[in-house]
Amino acid sequence: MFSTLVRSCRPPFALATAAIFGAALLSGVGVADVQAKTLKLGHALPAGDHPYHLGAAKFAEIVEAKSDGRITVEIFPSAQLGGERDMVEGLKIGTVDMVITAATIAGGIANDRKVFLLSIPYIFSDYDAVSRVLEGEVGQEMTENWPKHGFRSVGFFIAGFHQLANSKKPIKSPDDLEGMKIRSIQSKAATLMIESLGPTAVPMAFPEVYTGIQQGVVDGFANSLTTLYTAKYYEVAPYISVSNHAVGTLNLLISENTYQGLSEEDRKIVDEAGIEAARYQRGLYKEGDRKFLELLQDAGKVNTDVDTAAFREHVEAYIPQFIELVNEPGAQELADRMLAEGAR
């Protein structure tokens, strides 16, 4: 099913290309009309059963099926093409075709920061609310200007509902985080999100987190139960507190140069595949919350006694700072719409 998980072998691609060209010549169709293309897609998580990778593989599978094999997707997991910020910059200079990255990183690089509002803790009531906001008008408005800055979003992936994991102690309230150093994504919005919960935020690239906790550079970080289990972060951050304070929002990005280099038909294929793969990928986290909560509880590594009301109250005072951070006309109105959509 997932024959496109990681591509590194060129001969089959060459044979497929030759077959396509041969068919084109026999049918009288111009080679330019059926020219095969390979897209390089990078992400920072491991290959295997992690939702980042399975979402990328689903996108590749759909694109190849819809294009009858003319477009293939070569996936580079585990930050092989660099950290997320490096890969997004690569979209602009042509070294990468596609990237799965945090929405706040993409928004910061595009200097269009409306997605920063998605970092406000406790805006989503459940997974249905996540899809409602991200696939609705709010999500579209947040990314509509990105093509002017070298890339566009073709789908909202997620990193699941985030929990607090650390190497020191269980977390029950904001007071327990006082004096702790918690890693944040390398963006102002992500840093503010962590600070709004109570600890000191330490911006750090994702590939550095495991060793950063080991070496005491940070005490912990926030992520989904799926990532904490499948990437074995519980080994260095065994105190996992179920706070459900945020949903990590990601974008499946494509270089605008790459996108415009596709035919109108192929652009439609990429657009449709992005939406379908994003829905599939978000569903994996919903399933993973149940599965990996049980596995981590069996290992005695989960604290479910979290005073979420106290965290919500602590966060409330920071919401105006998120709106100020966006610093764009209409930010308050967009935030109000997002909060109303996410809560119902």
pLDDT in tens, 236-259: 999 999 999 999 999 999 999 999
Find, among 102, 7, 90, 87, the residue nearest to 52 by Cα. Answer: 102
| Position with higher pLDDT, 7 vs 91 | 91
When pLDDT is cut at 50, 70 and 90, the band that residue 299 belongs to is: confident
pLDDT of residue 98: 98
Give the integer Cα–Cα distance in Å for 178 and 137.
Answer: 38
pLDDT of residue 35: 79
What torsion do the CA atoms of 83, 84, 87, 92 make, to the nearest 10 degrees? Answer: -140
> Are the beta carbons of 105 and 42 closer than 8 angstroms?
no
pLDDT at 10 over 60: no
Give the integer Cα–Cα distance in Å for 195 and 201.
Answer: 6
Please return the burial class of 14, using the count of CB atoms within 10 Å of its CB with bins 0-12, 13-18 and 19+: exposed
pLDDT in tens, 86-122: 999 999 999 999 999 999 999 999 999 999 999 999 9
Q: What's the start-to-end Cα distance of the chain, in Å?
A: 37
pLDDT in tens, 131-166: 999 999 999 999 999 999 999 999 999 999 999 999
Give the integer Cα–Cα distance in Å for 121 and 315.
Answer: 7
pLDDT of residue 117: 97
Q: What is the mean pLDDT of residues 73-95?
A: 95
pLDDT averaged over every residue in the chain: 90
pLDDT of residue 138: 97
Alpha-helical runs (H) found in 28-111: 51-66, 84-93, 103-109
> Are the beta carbons of 323 and 255 closer than 8 angstroms?
no
**Lowest mean pLDDT, pick from 185-194, 215-224, 261-270:** 185-194
pLDDT in tens, 30-73: 444 557 999 999 999 889 888 999 999 999 999 999 999 999 99
pLDDT at 15 over 50: no
pLDDT of residue 172: 97
pLDDT at 9 over 50: no
> Are the beta carbons of 92 and 255 closer than 8 angstroms?
yes
pLDDT of residue 3: 41
When pLDDT is cut at 50, 70 and 90, the band that residue 11 belongs to is: very low
Give the integer Cα–Cα distance in Å for 270 and 63.
Answer: 6
pLDDT of residue 343: 79
Backbone dihedral region of 327: left (phi > 0), alpha (psi from -120 to 50 degrees) or beta?
A: left
Could you give the count of Cα atoms lying within 13 Å of 296 in the half-sphere of its Cβ?
30
pLDDT at 23 over 50: no
Hey, what domains does the chain have and what are their CATH numbers?
A: 11-335 (3.40.190.170)
Give the integer Cα–Cα distance in Å for 224 and 248.
Answer: 8
pLDDT of residue 34: 59
> Are the beta carbons of 57 and 75 closer than 8 angstroms?
yes
Based on its alpha-carbon atoms, the radius of gyration of the chain, rounded to whole angstroms, reads 21
Q: What percent of the chain has pLDDT over 70?
A: 90
pLDDT of residue 31: 43
Task: Give Cα 99 distance to the centre of its chain.
Answer: 9
Helices (H), strands (E): how many in the chain? 14, 9
Model-level pTM? Answer: 0.84
pLDDT at 200 over 60: yes
pLDDT of residue 4: 45
Q: What percent of the chain has pLDDT over 90?
A: 83
What torsion do the CA atoms of 250, 255, 256, 259 make, to the nearest 10 degrees? Answer: -100
pLDDT of residue 12: 38
Find, among 129, 341, 338, the residue nearest to 330 by Cα. Answer: 338
